[in-house]
Amino acid sequence: MNILDIIAKKRDKKELSKEEIEYFITGYTNGEIPDYQAAALVMAIYLNGMSMEETTNLTLAMAHSGDILDLSDLGIVVDKHSTGGVGDKITLILMPIMAALGVPVAKMSGRGLGFTGGTADKLESIPGYRTNISIEEFKNNVKEIGISLITQTGNLAPADKKLYALRDTISCTSSIPLISSSIMSKKIAAGANKIVLDVTCGDGAFMKTKEEAEELASVMKQIGTLAGKETVCIITPMQQPLGYSVGNTLEVIEAIEALKGNMQEDVKEVVLELGSHILKLAGKGESLQENKQKIENCIASNLAYEKFLTLVEKQGGDSSYCKDTNKFKKAKYEMNIISEQDGYLQEMKASFIGKAACLLGAGRIQKEDSIDMSAGIILHHKVGDMVKKGDIIATLYTNQESKLEEAKSIVEEAIKI
């Protein structure tokens, strides 16, 4: 077997065998297959697709490219993953709620790349919060306080780490076999028994249409079933950003406010929908409607907020920032985007808002880039709102004054009144 034949086979729209896929994943992970050949094969997969069998074999090969975590001593662990979006702070809100309701939460999250944010980066905007603790400490925290949120540590799905970074540099991110194998390999390696997937759909997501999102959901569900992990997929809109903030510290503040009971309607809808399914999978209630009520009660009783504070403290974070969010460092420069007319906010393209936030310093263009935690955008209106001439639609925050004008024009392009 050799990589040239494998590339040629996929280039010519033929189906790869399990052995050929494993050969590629093993060779690429251990460095024997160079990036340029992997890039050629990834591009061929992107262009010509994969059958369900190929996608499943790719997922399993990636999952087994490193360690598989054993979480069996923690009970029924339900994992959650989003296919990515702009302003997506759902994990920060939802997982403390789930832990407060007795579901063990052992979750690894990724870092942001491009205009999609990563939960690990957001958590690190809380001074002292350690996302890269050992697997042992991770599991101990779940045993002691019912929750741990960390970054992808250890040698879990190393093939995905390499492939994900490679895809990003060759414009091969939005492909159904590549996204589904990337996500499901990590979920399988991270040891959860059951999986709830938030498949985002719209301008700020990889899947732009409902049909594409449904196909991705169906493929991931089938992989989950084949891997013996009950999997539920919820399709959620990502046409405009989720909630009212985009950017690391800004999103953490929004998440804290949500846990205190001040939750934006669109965020709440996603939290209730995903949360009710997680509770069901964890054996905490069959009725989705009743589960939603449990979530509402949990927030109202402050238990979810307190669980978040416990989590922050356990992981070394300074919870005084969460108790008084004015303590978070603010960006030096800000600029308002003002409505020039009366009307209704008809559109706020999430991808443009994400790009503008990135430019202001909130995201990475290259994997190695550092992030400006305080940079980002606060939205003062959502699609459907009535606005008047002179109203502030959004506020930009950055420490790089020179970026403000360009970011402003990107945001103006995103908005239609």
Give catalytic residues, as residue numbers: 81, 160, 167, 182, 186
Residues in Cβ contact with 312 at an 8 Å cutoff, skipping those fewer than 6 apart: 126, 129, 318, 319, 322
Cα(221)–Cα(231) distance, integer angstroms = 5
Tokens of 390: 């002179």
Shortest Å distance, C-beta 179 to ligand URA? 4
Q: Which residues within the stretch 17-56 sit at the binding site for ligand URA (CB under 6 A)?
A: none
CB 379 within 8 A of CB 345: no
Shortest Å distance, C-beta 345 to ligand URA? 28
Contact string (CB under 6 A) for ligand URA, positions 153-172, x = contact: -----------x--------
Q: Which residues within the stretch 66-95 sit at the binding site for ligand URA (CB under 6 A)?
A: 83-84
84 vs 146 by CB, closer to ligand URA: 84
Stretch that binds ligand URA, among 61-69, 176-184, 254-262, 268-276 (CB under 6 A): 176-184
- 351 contacts ligand URA (rule: CB under 6 A): no
203 vs 391 by CB, closer to ligand URA: 203
Cα(177)–Cα(386) distance, integer angstroms = 41
Amino acid residing at 351: S
- 179 contacts ligand URA (rule: CB under 6 A): yes
- 118 contacts ligand URA (rule: CB under 6 A): no
Shortest Å distance, C-beta 96 to ligand URA? 22
Cα(2)–Cα(24) distance, integer angstroms = 9
146 vs 224 by CB, closer to ligand URA: 224
Cα(244)–Cα(377) distance, integer angstroms = 8
174 vs 399 by CB, closer to ligand URA: 174
Shortest Å distance, C-beta 110 to ligand URA? 6
Shortest Å distance, C-beta 271 to ligand URA? 19
Contact string (CB under 6 A) for ligand URA, positions 93-112, x = contact: -----------------x--
Shortest Å distance, C-beta 160 to ligand URA? 7
Residues in Cβ contact with 392 at an 8 Å cutoff, skipping those fewer than 6 apart: 336, 337, 338, 339, 380
Shortest Å distance, C-beta 28 to ligand URA? 16
Exposed, middle or buried: residue 361 (CB in 10 Å: 0-12, 13-18, 19+)? buried
81 vs 403 by CB, closer to ligand URA: 81
Tokens of 254: 């929004």
Contact string (CB under 6 A) for ligand URA, positions 364-403, x = contact: ----------------------------------------
Cα(295)–Cα(51) distance, integer angstroms = 39
Q: Which residues of 279-297 are buried (b: 16+ CB within 10 A; e: fewer)?
A: bbbbebbeeeeebbebbbe
Stretch that binds ligand URA, among 138-146, 174-182, 197-205, 239-247 (CB under 6 A): 174-182
What separation in angstroms does the CA of 346 have from each of 116, 354, 383, 407? 23, 18, 5, 20
- 182 contacts ligand URA (rule: CB under 6 A): yes
Nearest residue relative to ligand URA (C-beta): 182
User: What is the chain's length?
Assistant: 417
In the sheet with 78-82, reading across from the earlier edge strand, the strands are 78-82, 194-201, 230-237
Site size toward ligand URA (CB under 6 A) is 8
Residue ranges that bind ligand URA, judged by CB under 6 A: 83-84, 110, 164, 178-179, 182-183
